[in-house]
């Protein structure tokens, strides 16, 4: 992960995917959103002794402390990565507490779908961010790209002259003597 700090907060950053199921997925760079940078700033504030070579998600344990049973981090090892299954357990715990029924993979699908919905984002950019090698993998989202293409063509259409139904002139009321009341008025 590359992070740029400004005045004690993460101004921008990117995740570098080290391992992946596909060759194209390994080594890809995914920029962080402002919200993700803000969340990471809060998370990393818990580890003031962290160095540049420390893990962003270090090995740690969570327990409850005091009479108020407040969550407490302990057993932190900044030189050791958080366990692979810890991510899944953390996600499952948050999912159950939030009362939602989604798989962790659904977040990836939503990410790619939202990118595909934007006609300004190229398929190549989506492929690079998602780590897809083949166009076949991206074809799963083709229906979304088709909608974006239709929207792009619709943007080329001339705007129609607006038609309004209403009052002619400056009168606040439509006088009863008008015979053509209710007919469209073209502005």
pLDDT digits (tens, 9 = 90+) for 41-82: 999 998 899 888 888 889 988 888 889 888 888 899 999 988
* Same domain membership, residue 24 and residue 6: yes
Buried b / exposed e over 117-131, threshold 16 CB at 10 Å, is eeeeeebeebbebbb
pLDDT at position 18 over 90: no
Confidence category of residue 109, pLDDT binned at 50, 70, 90: confident
For 104, the token pair is: 């962790």
Reported as a pLDDT band with limits 50, 70 and 90, residue 123 is: confident
What is the predicted pLDDT for the residue at 142?
67
Residue 179 covered by a domain: no
Looking at the fold, whether 106 and 95 belong to one and the same domain comes out as no
26 and 14 fall within a common domain: yes
Residue 164 belongs to a domain: no
Q: What is the domain count for the chain? A: 3
- Note down the domain range covering 30: 1-45
The answer to whether residue 180 is domain-embedded is no
Per the domain annotation, does 39 fall within a domain? yes
Q: What is the pLDDT of residue 39?
A: 94
154 and 106, same domain (yes or no): yes
> Looking at the predicted structure, is the pLDDT value of residue 184 above 60?
no
């Amino acid at each position: 992960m590359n992070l740029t700090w400004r005045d004690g907060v993460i101004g921008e950053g990117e995740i570098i995917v080290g391992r992946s199921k596909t060759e194209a997925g390994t080594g890809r760079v995914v920029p962080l959103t402002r919200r993700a940078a803000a969340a990471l700033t809060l998370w990393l504030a818990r580890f003031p002794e962290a160095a540049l070579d420390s893990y962003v998600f270090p090995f740690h344990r969570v327990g409850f402390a005091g009479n108020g049973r407040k969550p407490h981090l302990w057993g932190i090892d900044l030189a050791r990565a958080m366990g692979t299954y810890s991510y899944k357990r953390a996600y499952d715990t948050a999912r159950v507490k939030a009362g939602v029924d989604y798989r962790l993979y659904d977040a990836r699908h939503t990410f790619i779908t939202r990118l595909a919905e934007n006609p300004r984002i190229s398929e190549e950019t989506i492929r690079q961010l998602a780590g897809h090698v083949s166009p076949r993998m991206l074809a799963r989202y083709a229906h979304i790209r088709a909608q974006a293409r239709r929207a792009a063509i619709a943007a080329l259409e001339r705007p129609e002259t607006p038609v309004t139904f209403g009052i002619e002139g400056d009168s606040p009321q439509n006088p009863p003597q008008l015979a053509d009341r209710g007919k469209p008025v073209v502005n």
